[in-house]
Structures are given as structure tokens and as C-alpha cells.
Amino acid sequence: MTDYQSEGNKFDVIILGAGSIGVPAAYAFSKSGFKTLVIDEEASPGQGSNKRAIGGIRATHSDPAKIALCQRSIEVFSTWQESTGDDIEWVRGGYCFVAYCEEEQNSLKDLLRLQKELGLNIDWHDTSQLLEIVPELNPDGLLGGTFSPEDGNASPLLALLSFYRQSLKCGATYKFHEKVIQFITSGEKIIGVKTSSNQYYAPVTILAAGGTSRELGTLVDLDIPVYPDSHEAAITEPVERFLNPMIVDIRPTDDSSNFYFYQHFTGQIVFCITPKPNIWGTDIRETSAFLPMASQRLLDLMPRLHHLRVRRTWRGLYPMTPDGFPLVGLVPEKPGLILATGMCGQGFMLGPGLAELLVRLVDGSLREDDLQILERLNPKRQFQAQEILK
Ligand SMILES: Cc1cc2nc3c(=O)[nH]c(=O)nc-3n(C[C@H](O)[C@H](O)[C@H](O)COP(=O)(O)OP(=O)(O)OC[C@H]3O[C@@H](n4cnc5c(N)ncnc54)[C@H](O)[C@@H]3O)c2cc1C
């Protein structure tokens, strides 16, 4: 390969992947004055998992790192229209984790202490209190649930498009239709990347390639433990708004684990399920098994919805890690490379908060709380814990 560098292909930061993480990161870096390049093999931003996310945004997690990152993301999403003028259909509807079994009741209540300690506005509500917040919930067997009113939702399509446009205004460069096929190295140091049609150089390369991150790692003999796991979702016809929070049911059934749904700003009910066992791999063709399984769970939780017609289903990938937590940080054996991948089912909500942390990591302004986050999300950790609210 010709090792040819000119001003046109030299950047301060190269971001691999214009998705839920890469585009907010491009905005944060370019806004901070970095000459930023984003590379994606697709034709436009957000064509990977981002456009398949249903738009849930919560700080209600079981882990301090995710809580802190999403608290910041919520600040960004909730003030985005005010600060940029762009409507991303943000609604602060809250999140409601329901309990119909003692086991779920106990795990949700156990988590409350940590969640409150970390500053979350969240409380347990017994059956009658919860029915005041969500009157349409099926009362049969309902033991209560948590409600966190500051969480919300937004459109992943509008949000990413807006981050993209704002990053362009700040000077970010995007190269679409270019697949990254090789890392350019100097000794062990990563100094750039080669794509299907060009080569680019930067002292820092951020790998934010979602479900294909492991494949990219093999190009430099790195085993990045990100495994694509497919999930399906559906959207109904729109109806008058009656439901504010995202409803999450973590009770497992024979063929699924988590189930969650909400009513979008524009009236449609959007729902998603975690199949059991997981369906590993990159196949994103819709299945005939999904809708009967998911709609049954929807109607069990909210019988009132039985007349609603489903307009469309789709399938996408969660970039999963062994413990359900992202991989974020420097890679000691490959100086110049930063991982920002393995976002599992929460990449959209983590994006803006994580983007700002990445800037602080690169410009050397990390705060004490950042160091704790990076320690928890260290790509070299032992993967012993397990995320409870996946
Ligand atoms: C059905 C469903 C519902 C979901 N709901 C939610 C939700 O409510 N809230 C939430 O926060 N998250 C949700 N998620 C998860 C969320 O979509 C992902 O966690 C997130 O999109 C991952 O972001 P990412 O930037 O890591 O990857 P992506 O958004 O997939 O971006 C990676 C990009 O890298 C590009 N790329 C990969 N390899 C290469 C290469 N070699 N060369 C060039 N480009 C490359 C891809 O084209 C892609 O554009 C959901 C996911 C699914 C499937």
C-alpha cells in the first residue's frame, strides 16, 4: 500500500461507524474543534442498528456507569430542540417496570437503593398507585412496579439525522459507501485505516462499528467480544395518545424474556421482545414467530389494545457483550485505538453521554467520575457481573 498522507486525508480523529455512537461522537468531537472523519459502508447515517431501535431512553439501569452516561444523554436529548431547533420527538414519559411475580418485585425493589443513591428519581408504587399512573395496565396479578418520570423516548431516525446535520455544521467529514478493510499501523500503533476506496490517517481511531466490531478486530488480531443478537420489533397504526411511560416487563416466559412497549409521540404503539433462547447471528429477516409471541405479551399487559392493527415489523441487532455492558476505552496493545462498542440494547440512549466522555478521553480532561465509568466498561474486564435490566 502506498503510505501517502496529504492534508485531505489526515484527521485528528477517525470514527468507524456512523451509527448510534459514531454520529453523536462526531458531533461532540467536531464541536470541540477536532478535525473529525466518520466512515460507514452504508449510504447514509444510522443504517445499522440505529434505525431499528424503538427509541427508549432511560437512566434506570442496574449499573453506575450506564446510569451516569444515560443521565447525561437525557440532558442532551431533552434540551436538544431548545439548543439546536431540531425536533427529535422527545417525550419525557417515564419508564415503568411492572411486577406480576414476586421474583421480579424483589429484584426491582433491591435495585432501588442503588438507583436512588446514584440520584435517580425513581420509586416503587403498589398496585393501586401504579394503576393511577398507567390505568390501562392489566390489574390481574399486578403487584406494583417502579416508575421513573424523568426517562423518556425520542425518534432514533430524527435524532441521528439531527446529530448528523449538526456535526456537519461543526465541520465533521463523512465518507459513506466505504467499507473499512484494514488498519494502517506503525509498529503496534494504529495510525489510520484503509477502506474499499481510500486511506485515511489520524492519531486516534474510534471503533464504533456495532454488530460487526468483532470482525473489524480480527484485522489487527484483536478478539473484541461483541456478538450480534437479533431482536424484532413492531409498530401499530396511530391512535390518540393515552399512554405516557415505556412499560417494561422483565418476567421470563417459555419463549421470551424482556418485553417492552410505549406509545410514540405520533400515536403508534411500538413494541419489542427479547427472544428465549437468544437468536445469535446477523440475519435480519423478520420471522413469523415474532408477532404471535409479542402481541400475546402486549395484550396480556394491556388488554385494551386488542383492536389495534400492526403496520410493520422489523428485525435488527443488539451488539451484545458477555455481561451485557459496553466495551469502552483504550486498547493497551494497540495504541491509537479506542473501543466504543458492545452497546447491547441501549446504544441509542447511551450515544450522547458516551460521545462527550470519548472527547474527554482523547483531550486528556477526564474527570474522577469518568475514570470510574471507564474502569467498569474496560474492554479487558473479566465479564463476571451480569446486567439485570438488559
Ligand atoms: C429491535 C431493536 C430495538 C432497540 N431499541 C432500543 C431502544 O429503545 N433504546 C436504545 O438505546 N437502543 C435500542 N436498541 C439497541 C440499539 O439499536 C443499538 O445498541 C445501537 O444502535 C448500537 O449502536 P452502534 O453505534 O454501536 O451501532 P450501529 O448503530 O449499528 O452503527 C454501526 C455502524 O458501523 C458501520 N460499519 C460496521 N462495520 C463497518 C465497516 N467495516 N466499514 C464501514 N462501516 C462499518 C455500520 O454500517 C453501521 O452504520 C434496539 C435495537 C433493536 C434491534
pLDDT in tens, 303-319: 999 999 999 999 999 99
Give nearest CA residue, ligand 1 atom 9: 56
- The atom number, within ligand 1, closest to the CA of 316 reads 53
Report yes or no: 29 and 359 within 8 Å, Cβ to Cβ. yes
CA of 37 to the centre of ligand 1 (A): 18
User: What is the residue-averaged pLDDT of the chain?
Assistant: 96
Distance, CA of 272 to CA of 289 (rounded, Å): 13
SS3 of 22, please? helix
Residue 389 — pLDDT band, cuts 50, 70, 90? low
CA 158 to chain centroid, in Å, comes to 15
Report yes or no: 361 and 264 within 8 Å, Cβ to Cβ. no
Report yes or no: 301 and 138 within 8 Å, Cβ to Cβ. yes
The 8-class DSSP code of residue 218 comes to G
What are the pLDDT digits (tens) for 177-207? 999 999 999 999 999 999 999 999 999 999 9
Q: Is the CB of 180 under 6 A from ligand 1?
A: yes
Asked whether the whole model's pTM tops 0.75, one would answer yes
Give residue 1's pLDDT: 40
What are the pLDDT digits (tens) for 3-40? 467 778 999 999 999 999 999 999 999 999 999 999 99
The 8-class DSSP code of residue 237 comes to E
Q: Is the CB of 40 under 6 A from ligand 1?
A: yes
The answer to whether the bond into 277 is cis (omega within 30° of 0) is yes
Give the percent of the chain with pLDDT over 70. Answer: 98
What are the pLDDT digits (tens) for 364-383? 999 999 999 999 999 999 98
Mean pLDDT of 235-251: 97
Query: C-alpha distances in angstroms, 265 versus 54, 160, 241?
Result: 12, 17, 8
CA of 19 to the centre of ligand 1 (A): 6
Q: Is the CB of 18 under 6 A from ligand 1?
A: yes
Give residue 6's pLDDT: 79
Residue 171 — pLDDT band, cuts 50, 70, 90? very high
Distance, CA of 135 to CA of 145 (rounded, Å): 13
- The atom number, within ligand 1, closest to the CA of 47 reads 49
Report yes or no: 83 and 27 within 8 Å, Cβ to Cβ. no
Give nearest CA residue, ligand 1 atom 41: 180
Does 249 have pLDDT greater than 50? Answer: yes
Mean pLDDT of 148-175: 98
CA of 159 to the centre of ligand 1 (A): 14
Give residue 388's pLDDT: 67
Give residue 5's pLDDT: 73
Q: Is 264 exposed, middle or buried (0-12, 13-18, 19+ CB in 10 A)?
A: buried
Report yes or no: 20 and 348 within 8 Å, Cβ to Cβ. yes
Range of 4-8, 151-155, 284-288 with top mean pLDDT: 151-155
Does 291 have pLDDT greater than 60? Answer: yes
Q: Is the CB of 324 under 6 A from ligand 1?
A: no
- Strands 256-263 and 95-99 come out as unpaired
Give nearest CA residue, ligand 1 atom 48: 48
The 8-class DSSP code of residue 319 comes to E
CA of 318 to the centre of ligand 1 (A): 7
Distance, CA of 246 to CA of 254 (rounded, Å): 23
Report yes or no: 234 and 350 within 8 Å, Cβ to Cβ. no
Which amino acid is it at 76?
V
Output the nine-digit C-alpha cell for 224.
473484541
Q: Is the CB of 274 under 6 A from ligand 1?
A: no
CB atoms within 10 A of CB 249: 25
Give residue 255's pLDDT: 87
